[in-house]
Amino acid sequence: MKTDLDDNQDLSKQIAEAIRDAIINGSLLVDQRLPSEAELCDKFGVGRSTVREALKRLAAQNLIRTQRGASGGAFVNRMSFEEAYGQQITTSTLLLSMNQVDFETACEARYALERACAPLSAQRRTADHLATMRAEIHRQTQPGLTDEAFCASDVAFHRALVDGAGNPVLSYQLAGAVEAMQPLMNMITYTQRDRDRIVEFHTQLADAIEGQDGPTAEASLGQLAEYTVELGRSRLTQSKDRR
């Protein structure tokens, strides 16, 4: 591990990076214990607060976990899919909201990726995934649903579709694309007609997935994508004009 630090730089940042690199390149293995804080102080020649700040940086990225007590310490953390999901969603959400990414671009990305899952999902979906999709479709037809709840259900529906592909890496990669869209979709006000149309697409899609008909599923998604972009275009430009 690199232990010579450039002064007049942020020490805790450099230490965190040195340890992170050691984890990535395999010098530190999963569940291996890092040196104690005191030992790290010696190794890097810095005070304890500096070491601690470095460790907190790593903990924030789920790279390590810490445990108190004798035989405690910092351990290299096995990055779980769940943790990775969370990070991905946070990052994606902020990326979209902070960079004035327009609805159309985000929507295109999301549906392009989701289309890639459709054939796999059609092939491998279980009864569970189908049940979730049907349940969400049903929820979407309930009267009195707020726009937020409708969007949340939409996300859950698509999530089930993606998970149906049975590839955890794919599910992880799409977590950001699907979930980060929700805040953008929440800005749209849906008429009953819009909802009916969307539910129609969802039903078509669920039918295709159930029938293991990949091409049709992909086509339905394509139509839905087009409709959603259209919807966003008309609604968001309207609300912009009102300003």
Return residues touching DNA (CB under 7 A): 8, 10-12, 34, 36-38, 41, 45-50, 52-53, 55, 66-74
**Is 8 a binder of a second copy (CB under 8 A)?**
no
Site pattern 97..136 for a second copy (x: CB under 8 A): xxx-x---xx-xx--xx-xxx--x----------------
Minimum distance of DNA from residue 55's CB (angstroms)? 7
In the list a second copy, DNA, none, the entry touching 137 (Cβ below 5 to 8 angstroms by class) is none
Q: CB nearer to a second copy: give 108 or 207.
A: 108
Q: Each residue of 139-153: b (16+ CB within 10 Å) or e?
A: bbeeeebeeeebbbb
Q: CB nearer to a second copy: give 102 or 200.
A: 102
| Residue 34 near residue 64, CB atoms below 8 Å | yes
Stretch that binds a second copy, among 56-64, 128-136, 203-211, 224-232 (CB under 8 A): 56-64
In the list DNA, a second copy, none, the entry touching 46 (Cβ below 5 to 8 angstroms by class) is DNA
Interatomic CA distance for residues 143 and 195, integer angstroms: 10
Minimum distance of a second copy from residue 196's CB (angstroms)? 28
Among 23, 28, 206, 217, binds a second copy (CB under 8 A): 23
Interface residue list for a second copy (CB under 8 A): 12-13, 16, 20, 23-24, 26, 30, 49, 52-54, 56-61, 63, 78-81, 84, 87-88, 90-99, 101, 105-106, 108-109, 112-113, 115-117, 120, 165, 167-170, 172-174, 176-177
